[in-house]
Chain A
Amino acid sequence: METHAEAGKEGKPSCASVDLQGDSSLQVEISDASCLPHFAQTEFSVVRQHEEFIWLHDAYVENEEYAGLIIPPAPPRPDFEASREKLQKLGEGDSSVTREEFAKMKQELEAEYLAIFKKTVAMHEVFLQRLAAHPTLRRDHNFFVFLEYGQDLSVRGKNRKELLGGFLRNIVKSADEALITGMSGLKEVDDFFEHERTFLLEYHTRIRDACLRADRVMRAHKCLADDYIPISAALSSLGTQEVNQLRTSFLKLAELFERLRKLEGRVASDEDLKLSDMLRYYMRDSQAAKDLLYRRLRALADYENANKALDKARTRNREVRPAESHQQLCCQRFERLSDSAKQELMDFKSRRVSSFRKNLIELAELELKHAKASTLILRNTLVALKGEP
């Protein structure tokens, strides 16, 4: 199944699409890469595993050159387990469920499966597109390799040790961050960054909360929609059994609930797409921004340390030159980071704002549409019911 991406501004491959193959590996297709001079052809496609995406992301993160940039967050691992489990459970299921109900539930589950499918692919695509859109990041050698190299990159998934290592590294990093910020000697020279820092921290926690709550709402809507299935079935069997006026009422009710169910399902999925996904994405993005800030801070700390070392060396009048050059390096690094970070953060902000705006508008419009539709259905049924003797 293909998902085509919109062409961005000039200077980017106009059609980078990602396709999911049977064994959860993704097929990346690039067309019109004429803007990237390095590439031999203008159209090509490769097959990549999810792990290879992760590898690419890590390569970026570990690259010192990009320390001043916000690295686009890695796409989440494709997770079909939940749906598969539910499908299995439904299959074993209990006998009290009638055949029609069972068929409907199965349909729902399959639709869910498909939706997760699509989302995963979209995530991967967004990742690559952001990389391609960024003027610096897209010139990375690894990126080219990733896009071009016809054969398997032979990147194995992280084994346990590496995972553990990564986990430990995270801990060290956060401890380090705490230390740096707590360090009395370190003064944030730039107000802009100070402001950004506090903002980002707060923002990240808030958005994480919002994401969780949005998830819960969406799940409740979904459960509601699923509930309508047995209700509708029970009502229709009640209706077929009745012999008096209630019969038509019940049958109409059954129909009503069936339609309501579809609506609710759509509400749930819309909320999912527009709200939850967006929140989730920006949660990860703000995490990346935080990482950037951390790196800069680290650079600042290093710079400070280099200064101190230089002073010490000067007083001792030993090894002044290496200390000096080291200090120079640190200073340069720090300044470079600061500049690019500033740019990146402002980009991040504008990107974020526009994306929120678009999604929220779309969400509101969709909710309105659904609410109006369900009002219509309900009114019609009411009229029909009241009209009967």
Chain B
Amino acid sequence: MAAEREPPPLGDGKPTDFEDLEDGEDLFTSTVSTLESSPSSPEPASLPAEDISANSNGPKPTEVGLDDDREDLFAEATEEVSLDSPEREPILSSEPSPAVTPVTPTTLIAPRIESKSMSAPVIFDRSREEIEEEANGDIFDIEIGVSDPEKVGDGMNAYMAYRVTTKTSLSMFSKSEFSVKRRFSDFLGLHSKLASKYLHVGYIVPPAPEKSIVGMTKVKVGKEDSSSTEFVEKRRAALERYLQRTVKHPTLLQDPDLRQFLESSELPRAVNTQALSGAGILRMVNKAADAVNKMTIKMNESDAWFEEKQQQFENLDQQLRKLHASVEALVCHRKELSANTAAFAKSAAMLELLSDYIRLIAAVKGVFDHRMKCWQKWEDAQITLLKKREAEAKMMVANKPDKIQQAKNEIREWEAKVQQGERDFEQISKTIRKEVGRFEKERVKDFKTVIIKYLESLVQTQQQLIKYWEAFLPEAKAIA
């Protein structure tokens, strides 16, 4: 199968790469749906989500946006540009990504022109290889903070605005320090755009924090009690971690949407992230369709690495869930204890990390699912090609010259498609491998730092306890 063949060389700026990817979009537009990933599942999630049960935040396998052709930007691309590129204007993603183009799961043919509606990033300064080198060498200097949550407006239209501060020395940003105000739905919008562009190519896009209608309503209503401040604080921390993870990813960092998010003072409102919008309902429907689809796809996994990794992630997911549940109980009890003895509840930090990782793993699984879909498309293309050949043969026998010509054309077309499918599949496999490697490294680092922090805080608590008890002892002795 394709996996054995040597994948096309990456990063040497060869235009052939871009061509492939550009063509590839067409296949993608047709499958299941073109909805961007919805970081928020509408609260009445009555439809069965596949394996993303409670944390329905991972980018769903449903979304298959259109590929972004960063390759367009390379200066060398001009000669061997594919049929599509002139049709595409590099537009900033000022419009919401194709959110409402539902396509039935079975059609494979879509007019190429449709690809126009997707967004393309602007020209970058450097080629992809440079970026990768940099990432590997870890010369990557950008710091993001989310702070100052403040309430804007009142009543049910109120929302919390967060200040996103960026400190960086990267040259692609116009300033070295800047900050903007963003609200929660802006974050969700960013995530959905990124996911629609990168997920189906095999990149692991970090999932955004969850929507919480209950929490937000409490804040909107204006209750100034501790639970709503706690909620806001938790959300702020989650948003910060989300952004930090996203910018750590070298490919995502180059994305213009991300830059716009960080830099520009005004951001078009991302309406499709609302829980109860038309888009939301559509997302639900497509999620269900995809679930059914997933059950019927039987993939011939010839690459042992993928199989092993998938299994690994399954296990990891389960384990983390269990751990998460236990730590949640721990947090609860510590809170109780602290309520009774006025101490600190430090395990909440661990909890945060665990839930983040559960969602990240869901994202990883989504990426794997994409690969599966890619493979399926390829298979289908092959089948269709066969059919077309048969039809041609029949025509030959029946001796209808005009039909023969048409059949020949179609055959050529499908041959190209088959090749395309194959190349896509290889591409996505390679990308996934790299991504998973990076993910693992990140994971190790993340866990370690958090664990160390947690333990240190425990030590601190214990030391304070010691101090207090030592102060108490002489008093106890003095009881008369």
Query: Nearest chain A CB to B321's CB is how many angstroms away?
Result: 9
Contact with A along B302-346 (1 / 0, CB 8 A): 000000000010011001101101110110011011001100000
Contacts of A371 in B (CB 8 A): 462-463, 465-466, 469
Q: Which of A244, A378, A386 has the largest count of B CB atoms less than 10 A from its CB?
A: A378
| Across-interface contacts of A231 in B (CB, < 8 A) | 323, 326-327, 330
- Among the listed B312, B323, B448, B476, which residue makes an inter-chain contact with A235, where contact means beta carbons less than 8 Å apart? B323
Contacts of B319 in A (CB 8 A): 234, 237-238, 241
The verdict on A385 contacting B459 (CB below 8 Å), with A237-B319, A371-B466 known, is: no
Cα A213 to Cα B336 in complex, Å, equals 12
| Chain A residue at minimal CB-CB distance from B462 | A375
What mask results when residues 168 to 208 of chain B are scored 1 for a CB within 8 Å of chain A, else 0? Answer: 00000000000000000000000000000000000000000
B476 touches A385 (CB 8 A): no
Q: Contact at A382–B455, with CB atoms within 8 Å?
A: yes
Task: Give the docked Cα–Cα distance between A230 and B326 (Å).
Answer: 6
Contact (Cβ within 8 A) B466 A375: yes
- A253: B residues at CB distance < 8 A: 451
Q: How far apart are the CA atoms of A55 and B302 in the complex, in Å?
A: 82
B330, A364: Cβ atoms under 8 Å?
no
Which residues on the A side are within 8 Å of B316 (C-beta)?
238, 241
**Distance between Cα atoms of A386 and B449 in the complex (Å):** 9
| A249 partner, pick from B320, B337, B448, B470, beta carbons under 8 A | B448
Q: Are B448 and A356 in contact (CB under 8 A)?
A: no
Size range of the interface on B?
35 or more
Q: Please tell me if the beta carbons of A96 and B322 are within 8 angstroms of each other in the complex.
A: yes
| B463-477 residues at the A interface, CB under 8 angstroms | 463, 465-466, 469-470, 472-473, 476-477
Q: A221 at interface (Cβ–Cβ under 8 A)?
A: yes
B459: A residues at CB distance < 8 A: 375, 378-379, 382
Bound form: Cα–Cα A343–B329 in Å: 52
Let me know if A155 is at the binding interface, CB within 8 A.
no
Q: Tell me the smallest distance from the CB of A241 to a CB of chain B, in Å.
A: 6
Interface contact B440-A227, CB-CB below 8 Å: no
In the complex, whether B452 has a CB less than 8 A from a CB of chain A is yes
Within B380-427, which residues are at the interface with A (CB < 8 Å)?
none
Say how far A115's CB is from chain B's closest CB, in angstroms.
20
Contact B451 A378 (CB under 8 A): no
Is B139 engaged at the interface, CB distance under 8 Å to the other chain?
A: no
Q: What are the interface flags for A346-389 relative to B under an 8 Å C-beta threshold, 1 for contact and 0 otherwise?
A: 00000001001100110111011001101100110110011000
Say yes or no: B444 contacts A227, CB within 8 Å: no
Among A231, A253, A360: residue with most chain B CB under 10 A: A231
Q: Which of B315, B330, B462, B473 contacts A374 (CB 8 A)?
A: B462
Q: B214 at the A/B interface (Cβ < 8 Å)? A: no
> Chain B's nearest CB lies how many Å from the CB of A110?
21
Contact in complex: B334, A224 (CB < 8 Å): yes
Whether A153 sits at the interface, judged by CB under 8 Å, is no
> Does chain B have a CB within 8 A of A245?
yes
- Report the separation of the CA atoms of residues A213 and B327 in the bound assembly, to the nearest whole angstrom: 25
CA distance A363 to B479 in the complex (A): 14
Instruction: Determine whether the beta carbon of B472 is less than 8 Å from that of A216.
Output: no
Interchain CB contact under 8 A, A246 and B447: yes
Q: In the docked arrangement, what's the CA distance between A249 and B446, Å? A: 12
User: Bound complex: CA of A367 vs CA of B472, how far in Å?
Assistant: 11
Residue pair A385, B452 in contact (C-beta under 8 Å): yes
Asked if B480 CB lies within 8 Å of chain A CBs, one says yes
**Residues B448 and A246 in contact, CB atoms below 8 Å apart:** yes
Is the beta-carbon distance between A230 and B470 smaller than 8 angstroms?
no
Question: Are the C-beta atoms of B340 and A220 separated by less than 8 Å?
Answer: yes
Q: Which of A241-258 touch B at CB < 8 Å? A: 241, 244-246, 249, 253, 256
Point out the residues of chain B lying under 8 angstroms from A244, CB to CB: 440, 444
Q: Contact between B323 and A238 (Cβ–Cβ < 8 Å)?
A: yes
Q: How many residues of A contact B (CB 8 A)?
A: 43
How many angstroms from the CA of A230 to the CA of B444 in the assembled complex?
A: 22
A133 lies within 8 A of chain B by Cβ: no
B326 and A221 contacting across the interface, CB-CB below 8 Å: no
How many Å lie between the Cα of A22 and that of B325 in the bound state? 40
Contact of B340 (CB < 8 Å), options: A96, A217, A381: A217
How many Å lie between the Cα of A386 and that of B456 in the bound state? 11
Q: Is the CB of B336 within 8 A of A223?
A: yes
Residues of B within 8 A of A357 (CB): 476-477, 479-480
Does A228 reach chain B (CB closer than 8 Å)? yes
Given contacts A224-B330, A245-B444, A367-B469, are A378 and B479 in contact (CB under 8 A)?
A: no
- A241-B473 in contact (CB<8A): no
Verify if B282 is at the interface (C-beta below 8 Å from A).
no
Q: Indicate which residue in A228, A353, A372 contacts B330 across the interface (CB closer than 8 Å).
A: A228
Q: Nearest residue in B to A215 (C-beta to C-beta)?
A: B340
**Is the CB–CB distance between B479 and A217 below 8 Å?**
no
> Chain B residues near A238 (CB, 8 Å)?
316, 319-320, 323
Chain A's closest residue to B335 (CB) is A220
Within 8 A of A (CB), among B325-384: 325-327, 329-330, 333-334, 336-337, 340-341
Does chain A have a CB within 8 A of B458?
Answer: yes
* Interface pair A361/B473, CB less than 8 Å apart: yes
Give the shortest distance, in Å, between A133 (CB) and chain B (any CB). 22
Binary CB contact string for chain A from 67 to 104 against chain B (1 if under 8 A, 0 otherwise): 00000000000000000000000000000100000000
Nearest-neighbour CB distance to chain B for A94, whole angstroms, equals 12
Chain A nearest Cβ from B154, distance in angstroms: 39
Contact B479 A249 (CB under 8 A): no
Contact indicator B333/A385 (Cβ below 8 Å) = no
Q: Which residue of B lies closest to A214 (CB)?
A: B340
Contact: B333 with A224, CB < 8 Å?
yes
- Chain A residue contacts of B326, Cβ below 8 A: 227, 230-231, 234
Interface string of B96-117 (1 = CB under 8 A from A): 0000000000000000000000
Give chain B residues whose Cβ lies under 8 Å from the Cβ of A360: 476, 479
Of the residues B312, B327, B466, B476, contact of A372 by C-beta under 8 Å: B466
- Within 8 Å by CB of A365, from B455, B463, B473, lies B473
Q: List the B side residues contacting A374 at CB < 8 Å.
A: 458, 462
Known: A224-B334, A360-B476, A364-B476. A382 touches B323 (CB 8 A): no
- Nearest Cβ distance between residue B431 and chain A, in whole angstroms? 21
Known: A224-B337, A371-B465, A378-B458. A246 touches B327 (CB 8 A): no
How near does chain B come to A282, taking the closest CB pair, in angstroms? Answer: 14
Q: Are A385 and B315 in contact (CB under 8 A)?
A: no
Instruction: Report yes or no: A368 in contact with B469, Cβ–Cβ below 8 A.
Output: yes
Taking CB atoms, residues of chain B closer than 8 Å to A217 are 337, 340-341
Query: What CA separation (Å) do A2 and B465 show in the bound complex?
Result: 36
Q: Is the CB of A220 within 8 A of B337?
A: yes
Residue of A217, A220, A221, A241 with most partner-chain B CB within 10 A: A220
Residue of A nearest to B350 (CB): A231
Are B451's CB and A249's CB within 8 A? yes
Query: When the two chains form their complex, are residues B479 and A220 in contact, meaning their CB atoms are under 8 A apart?
Result: no
CB pair B337 A221 closer than 8 Å = yes
Contact of A227 among B330, B451, B458, B476 (CB under 8 A): B330
Evaluate contact between A368 and B477: CB separation under 8 angstroms. Answer: no
Minimal Cβ-Cβ distance residue in B for A235: B323
Q: How far is the CA of A211 from the CA of B336 in the complex (A)?
A: 17
Known: A246-B448, A374-B458, A385-B452. 6 other contacts (CB 8 A): A231-B323, A234-B326, A238-B319, A367-B465, A374-B462, A381-B455
Q: Which 6 A-B pairs give the minimum distances between C-beta atoms?
A: A220-B337, A360-B476, A357-B479, A234-B323, A230-B326, A227-B330
Q: 17 A-B residue contacts at CB 8 Å?
A: A213-B340, A227-B330, A230-B325, A231-B323, A241-B316, A245-B448, A256-B455, A353-B480, A361-B476, A363-B476, A368-B466, A368-B473, A374-B462, A378-B459, A379-B459, A385-B451, A385-B455
